Amino acid sequence: MNDGELTGRVRTHIADVSDPECGLHADVVAPFSNLRRAALDDGFDLMPVSSFRAFSHQLAIWNGKFSGERPMYDAAGRRIDVGELASADRIEAILSWSALPGASRHHWGTDVDLVDRRATAPGYKIRLTPDEFAAGGPYAALTEWLDANAARFGFFRPYCGVRSGVASEPWHFSFAPVAEFARVKLTPGVLRAAIVEAPLLGKDEVIARLDALHARYVAAIDWP
């Protein structure tokens, strides 16, 4: 991947999949299809709620959360009043759940947020919160199946709340053979070049702390 592909500013590495509708790195289409076929055989209909995400999309998420237009929550699921937070604290709160524009693993087309379409009741609003994937949640059975089977197809959870500063995301799966290559190539310098001209809220604070933020929220993952 080149720098534009790593940071989501171009999508030349992405293949559009029609069923289920999603955008994946060209080298991830077949492995994901194999994972999905195996899940179907066992009664699960894997549906990506999110796959490839462009820089502009991630920027909208970031600015919406930084400004308070999009809701933000703490680890216990309580809504955060961003108006009470200093700039540095807003950045940390956002990064617990959402990546910096240019630093999202979704830019690579290697990562997907997965739910079970068969377990999603009509009209149910998917929130992607840990309780949905825990015992008693609609996707608890899917969690157990993925725990047992995802690695066979090259997929793993990069965020388990252990090494990375990102909170545990049991829905988030990454195709290791391509994603690890991208993670190593996405250096602080590449990320800085992507965001320096972007209309990023809190940019001065982000740039000043970029090396530390990169180390905690980009380089550090929960590798199997």
High-pLDDT (> 90) share of the chain, % = 82
Instruction: Decide if 224 is inside a domain.
Output: no
Mean pLDDT over residues 170-175, rounded? 97
pLDDT of residue 47: 97
Q: Is 121 a residue whose pLDDT tops 80? A: yes
pLDDT band at 223 (very low <50, low <70, confident <90, very high): confident
Instruction: Decide if 31 is inside a domain.
Output: yes
Instruction: Decide if 27 is inside a domain.
Output: yes
Q: Is the peptide bond before 224 cis (omega within 30 degrees of 0)?
A: no
Q: Is 82 a residue whose pLDDT tops 90? A: no
More confident residue, 19 or 116: 116
CATH of the domain at 90: 3.30.1380.10
Q: Is 77 a residue whose pLDDT tops 90? A: no
Q: Name the DSSP class of 161.
A: S
pLDDT of residue 73: 75
pLDDT of residue 76: 66
Instruction: Decide if 181 is inside a domain.
Output: yes
List the single range of 43-47, 51-55, 78-82, 177-181 with lowest mean pLDDT: 78-82
Domain span including residue 65:
3-219
pTM as predicted: 0.93
pLDDT of residue 84: 82
Q: Pairing state of beta strands 46-50 and 14-18?
A: unpaired
More confident residue, 11 or 89: 11
Question: Cβ contacts of residue 36 below 8 Å, gap of 6+?
Answer: 20, 46
pLDDT of residue 72: 80
Which residues sit opposite 174 in a β-bridge? Answer: 111, 156
pLDDT of residue 38: 98
Domain count, the chain: 1
Cα-Cα-Cα-Cα dihedral sign, residues 175, 180, 183, 185: negative
Mean pLDDT over residues 166-176, rounded? 95
Mean pLDDT, the chain, rounded, equals 94
Cα-Cα-Cα-Cα dihedral sign, residues 183, 189, 193, 195: positive
pLDDT of residue 97: 87
Do the beta carbons of residue 221 and residue 99 sit within 8 Å?
A: no
R_g over Cα of the chain: 17
Distinct helix (H) and strand (E) counts, the chain: 10, 6
Mean pLDDT over residues 73-92, rounded? 81
Instruction: Decide if 54 is inside a domain.
Output: yes
Do the beta carbons of residue 102 and residue 7 sit within 8 Å?
A: yes
